[in-house]
Amino acid sequence: MDGFVIAVDRGRYTCVLAGAEHGVAAAELPMVTAMRARELGRKSVVVGDRVGLVGDTSGAEGALARIVRITERRSVLRRTADDDETTAEGRLERVVVANADQMVIVSALADPPPRTGFIDRCLVAAYDADVEPLLCLTKADLAGPEEVLGYYTELELPYVLNRPDSDLGALRALLAGRVSVLVGHSGVGKSTLVNRLVPAAARAVGVVSAIGRGRHTSTSAVALRLPAISGIETDPGWIIDTPGIRSFGLAHVSADSLLHGFPDLVEGTVNCPPNCPHTSDAADCGLDAWVAAGRADPRRLASYRRLLASRAGEGDQRGETDQRGPGEGDRRGPDE
């Protein structure tokens, strides 16, 4: 039987059978508890994986199936605890989710203010994983989005604005038919957004915890089926809620791939000398002239070079100055 992994907890994997969600309310999805078969060896199973199940797939209490196959992943979103691959934290690569189509980067416009350094990191990880990014700006009742959107104006980054009383129709339309992973710092309103999108989220998570015999919510990812949209037969999609994170290390992303997280700067490297490192002390780097000519925001170049320096292990990442909001200095690291 083909299954979809929606939660992982201490060696137990909660799955739904492929196709079982069609015509079934999200809160009523039958769930199968499984363990990984020995023949998989060291292959990890993560939320979002499409797997092959054998054994008792009835979902009855006490039933236990086995995962014997992991379907080739369409995408793999990864992160590390550090940027420097020479450190233990940088070598510890963690798969966040598999097979996501879209990364929804949740950022508050105030309380806490937006942290563009973190958003930039998420964009790098999304582009590297071949996952489409979507910026979701919450607490739009407290501040306007103009400065944040101005910072990303050259990217034509898709975005949605969310207020406590706003209609979620635009966001629901962008989530329909897709597996979307939500990432964001604690306090940006991600949990509130999840509960509005999936009113039965608390109950669904509780059922997953009971099946997995463990704790869930803030410590691991969980996939939640979006409720059907009234009058529309389109697949409503899935969202994968991740715990609030303080860091999004990029040691797994090569220096060359790092640039692709800044598509507004790519063309500026055409006139760079061969093997240009693009750092601030690089002789004749074309990026400086590109920015000086007004073709890119100087803050974007500064952010890119901070990531380059951090990846090279230069300086204390936690002590770097970053933007909590465009134009505002912050003495926290780029992830905080």
| Residue 188 is labelled as binding a ligand | yes
Q: CA-to-CA distance for 221 and 219, rounded, in angstroms? A: 7
| Residue 190 is labelled as binding a ligand | yes
Identify whether the C-beta of residue 48 lies closer than 8 Å to the C-beta of residue 99: yes
| Residue 58 is labelled as binding a ligand | no
| Residue 269 is labelled as binding a ligand | no
In sequence order, what are the residues at sequence separation of 6 or more whose Cβ sits closer than 8 angstroms to the Cβ of residue 324? 112, 113, 114, 115, 330, 332
| Residue 330 is labelled as binding a ligand | no
| Residue 278 is labelled as binding a ligand | yes
Identify whether the C-beta of residue 119 lies closer than 8 Å to the C-beta of residue 127: no
| Residue 140 is labelled as binding a ligand | yes
| Residue 15 is labelled as binding a ligand | no
Q: CA-to-CA distance for 211 and 94, rounded, in angstroms? A: 24
| Residue 276 is labelled as binding a ligand | yes
Strands 32-36, 12-17: parallel, antiparallel or unpaired by DSSP?
Answer: antiparallel
Helix axes 116-128, 298-311, angle to 10 degrees: 70
Identify whether the C-beta of residue 103 lies closer than 8 Å to the C-beta of residue 134: yes
Specify which residues 3 forms β-bridges with.
Answer: 17, 51
| Residue 279 is labelled as binding a ligand | no
Whether residue 30 has a cis bond before it, omega within 30° of 0: no
| Residue 272 is labelled as binding a ligand | yes
| Residue 217 is labelled as binding a ligand | no
Question: What is the sign, positive or negative, of the torsion defined by CA atoms of 147, 155, 223, 244?
Answer: negative
| Residue 22 is labelled as binding a ligand | no
Nearest to 113 by CA among 325, 262, 326: 325
Provide the annotated binding site: 138-141, 184-192, 272, 276, 278, 285
Provide the annotated binding site for Zn(2+): 272, 276, 278, 285
Provide the annotated binding site for GTP: 138-141, 184-192
